[in-house]
Amino acid sequence: MDTDTFRRLGYELVDWIANYRERLETLPVMSQVAPGDIRALMPKEPPQHGAGLDGICGAIDSVVLPGITHWNHPGFFAYFPSNTDLSSVLADLLTAGLGAQGMSWQTSPATTEIEEVVMDWLRQMLGLSTSFTGVIHDTASTATFCALLCARELASDFSQNTGGLQSEAAPLTVYASDQAHSSIPKAALLAGFGRENLRLLPTDNKHALSMDILEAAIAADVQEGKKPCALVAAIGTTATTALDPLKAMAALAARYGMWLHVDAALAGTAMVCPEYRWMWEGVESADSIVMNPHKWMGAGFDLTAYFVKDPQHLIRVMGTNPSYLRTARDAEVNNFRDWGIPLGRRFRSLKLWFLLQEYGVEGIQARVRRDISMASWLAAQADTAPNWRRMAPAPLQTVCLQSVPPHLEGDEFALAAHNQAIVDAINASGQHYLTTSVLKDQKIIRVSIGAQATDLRRVEKLWEALQTCAIKTPGC
C-alpha cells in the first residue's frame, strides 16, 4: 500500500472508529449472530487479484460488526471488563506504524527503555517497593506459566539443565484455591507438575482460600515425601473477586520455602488507590505478581504486567543466548526476550504510556472509585430487595446475585434454570451483557462493573431489567 492510500484510508478508518465509539450504545452489546453467520458472509476462496481496500468501512459494517460483542459498551457487565481506551487505539496504530520488534535492546532501544520506565511508573502506582521489577507480557496466563516455571526451577535446583522434572526424587507440589482462575491449573499442568501434584483446595464461606485446609494439605504432602513448591494467591478471584489471605499465605510460603505467586489480574488495578491496598496485604513477600492493565485499567488488550523480585532468576529460566542474537551491548542493557517466553515482542508499552499520559494516576483512581461505588450501590439494592440474594462479598466491582422466587427456594436445579433464563433474556435484549458462574453448586449471576462508559444510570437500568426479567421468566 502506498502512503497516499494509507493516509486516505487511515483517516477514513479513524473516523469509522470514532463514530463506532459514539454510537456504541445503539448497538446490541452481545453479538446476536448464530455460529457460521459471519463465515457465510465471506468468500470461500482467497481473492486472486488485489482489488485494494477501498470500501473497507462498508465491509466492516456488514461483515465484522454483526459478529462483534462490544466490550466497551456501557451495558457490558460480563466476565471482567476489558477496556480499550482510545489512547490505546492510537498507541496500537503507532506500534504497527513503527513495525518495531523489541526482542533485544538493540533491535529498537525505545521499546526496551519506554517499557522499563512505564513499568516502574506502574510499580509506583501500585504502591510496590523497589524490590520488584516489572516486565510486560501478553496475558496473565503466560505470566503465571512463567511464574510456575521459575518456581519449578528454583525448587529443583535447575533441573532443566539436567534430567528435568523427570529426574526429581520428590514430586513438587503446587497449591491454590478451587476458585483460582483456570490459567493456574493450566500453567501447573503445562509446567509438568502433573495433576496428582496440584492441589486446588476448597474455599471458606467468603470463597477465599482457607489457611487450615492449606496447612493440612501441605503437611500431608510433606508426610508423603512430596516437596511443596509453589503457592498461588488469588487477589480477586474470577467468579466473585474473593481475596485469599495473602499475609498468612506468605508466612507459610516462607516456612516451606515455596514460591509465592500473586494473581491480581483484575484487582491489581484497584491497588492504584491506597485505600484498597489492604486487599493484598503481604504482597511485598511475593516472588511474582501478575496484574492486567488490559482489564479494568484501560490499556487495550493485550498488556499484562508481570512483577518479579529476582529478575536474574527469571532470566536464568527463560534466557537463551544463540550467537545470532548476541550484541555488543548485552552486558549493559535489558534484553526483554529473556524475560518471558516469546522471542519477538510487540511495542506494548506505548499503550500504557499513552493511557497514563492521557489520564494520570488521578484519572485511573477516579474511575476505580466510581466503579467500586457503583458496585456497592448495586450490592445494597440486592441486599434489601425481596427474592434476591447476594452470593458473595463484593469488595471490588463484581456483584454476585441470585434471584430466589419463594416457590423455587431450595430447588437448586429450578433456581439454576431460572437464573440462567434471566441472563439469557437480558443478553437477548441487546441492552446489557451478563455472564453466570457456578459457586459451590449454586448458579450465580455475575454483574461485573467496569466498562469505562458505564455510569450509575446504566447500573440502575440493569437492576430494573434484572428485576423485571426475574418476574417474567417462565415458571415464575
Q: Which is nearer to ligand PLP, 9 or 146 (CB)?
A: 146
CA-only gyration radius of the chain, Å? 24
Compute the distance between CA of residue 251 and CA of residue 214 in angstroms, rounded to an integer: 12
In the complex, what is the shortest distance from the CB of residue 140 to ligand PLP, in angstroms, rounded to a whole number? Answer: 4
Q: Which is nearer to ligand PLP, 379 or 396 (CB)?
A: 396
Q: Which stretch binds ligand PLP (CB under 6 A): 28-36, 259-267, 318-326, 338-346?
A: 259-267
Q: Which stretch binds ligand PLP (CB under 6 A): 2-10, 210-218, 231-239, 407-415?
A: 231-239
In the complex, what is the shortest distance from the CB of residue 304 to ligand PLP, in angstroms, rounded to a whole number? Answer: 5
385-420 b/e (C-beta count within 10 Å ≥ 16 → b): beebbbbbbbbbbbbbbbbbbeebeeeeeebbbbbe
Q: Which is nearer to ligand PLP, 187 or 462 (CB)?
A: 187
* Range 112-171, binding ligand PLP (CB under 6 A): 139-141
Compute the distance between CA of residue 132 and CA of residue 151 in angstroms, rounded to an integer: 16
- Under the binding rule (CB under 6 A), the answer on residue 84 touching ligand PLP is no
How many C-beta atoms surround the C-beta of residue 52 within 10 A? 9
Compute the distance between CA of residue 158 and CA of residue 317 in angstroms, rounded to an integer: 8
Q: What are phi and psi of 74, to 5 degrees?
A: -65, -20
**Which grid coordinates are listed for 373?**
461505588
- Under the binding rule (CB under 6 A), the answer on residue 203 touching ligand PLP is no
User: 3-class DSSP state for residue 207?
Assistant: coil
Asked whether the beta carbons of 415 and 438 are under 8 A apart, the reply is no
Q: Sign of the C-alpha dihedral, residues 457, 460, 462, 465?
A: negative
Among 72, 177, 183, 365, binds ligand PLP (CB under 6 A): 183
Maximum C-alpha span of the chain: 75
Q: Which is nearer to ligand PLP, 395 or 408 (CB)?
A: 395
In the complex, what is the shortest distance from the CB of residue 148 to ligand PLP, in angstroms, rounded to a whole number? Answer: 13
- DSSP code per residue over 9-69: HHHHHHHHHHHHHHTGGGS-SS--PPTTHHHHTS-SS--SS---STTHHHHIIIIIGGG--
In the complex, what is the shortest distance from the CB of residue 44 to ligand PLP, in angstroms, rounded to a whole number? Answer: 32
In the complex, what is the shortest distance from the CB of residue 265 to ligand PLP, in angstroms, rounded to a whole number? Answer: 3
Among 91, 118, 265, 394, binds ligand PLP (CB under 6 A): 265
* Range 61-80, binding ligand PLP (CB under 6 A): 80
Among 92, 153, 221, 263, binds ligand PLP (CB under 6 A): 263
In the complex, what is the shortest distance from the CB of residue 80 to ligand PLP, in angstroms, rounded to a whole number? Answer: 5
Q: Which is nearer to ligand PLP, 221 or 263 (CB)?
A: 263
User: 3-class DSSP state for residue 359?
Assistant: helix
Q: Which is nearer to ligand PLP, 105 or 339 (CB)?
A: 339
Q: Which is nearer to ligand PLP, 85 or 244 (CB)?
A: 244
In the complex, what is the shortest distance from the CB of residue 143 to ligand PLP, in angstroms, rounded to a whole number? Answer: 8
Which ranges in 156-310 belong to alpha helices (H)?
183-190, 211-223, 246-256
Q: Which is nearer to ligand PLP, 183 or 203 (CB)?
A: 183
Asked whether the beta carbons of 239 and 207 are under 8 A apart, the reply is yes
In the complex, what is the shortest distance from the CB of residue 81 to ligand PLP, in angstroms, rounded to a whole number? Answer: 10
In the complex, what is the shortest distance from the CB of residue 113 to ligand PLP, in angstroms, rounded to a whole number? Answer: 25
- Under the binding rule (CB under 6 A), the answer on residue 238 touching ligand PLP is yes
Among 73, 123, 152, 181, binds ligand PLP (CB under 6 A): 181
Q: Which is nearer to ligand PLP, 249 or 266 (CB)?
A: 266
* Range 285-324, binding ligand PLP (CB under 6 A): 292, 304
Compute the distance between CA of residue 201 and CA of residue 416 in angstroms, rounded to an integer: 24
For strand 259-263 and strand 288-291, is the pairing parallel, antiparallel, or unpaired? Answer: parallel
Q: Which is nearer to ligand PLP, 88 or 238 (CB)?
A: 238
**Binding residue count for ligand PLP, defined by CB under 6 A:** 14
In the complex, what is the shortest distance from the CB of residue 301 to ligand PLP, in angstroms, rounded to a whole number? Answer: 8
**Which grid coordinates are listed for 372?**
467500586
Compute the distance between CA of residue 101 and CA of residue 317 in angstroms, rounded to an integer: 22
In the complex, what is the shortest distance from the CB of residue 302 to ligand PLP, in angstroms, rounded to a whole number? Answer: 7
Q: Which is nearer to ligand PLP, 79 or 359 (CB)?
A: 79
Q: What are phi and psi of 308, to 5 degrees?
A: -130, 155
In the complex, what is the shortest distance from the CB of residue 458 to ligand PLP, in angstroms, rounded to a whole number? Answer: 22
User: 3-class DSSP state for residue 299?
Assistant: coil
Q: Where does this chain bind ligand PLP (CB under 6 A)?
A: 80, 139-141, 181, 183, 234, 236, 238, 263, 265-266, 292, 304
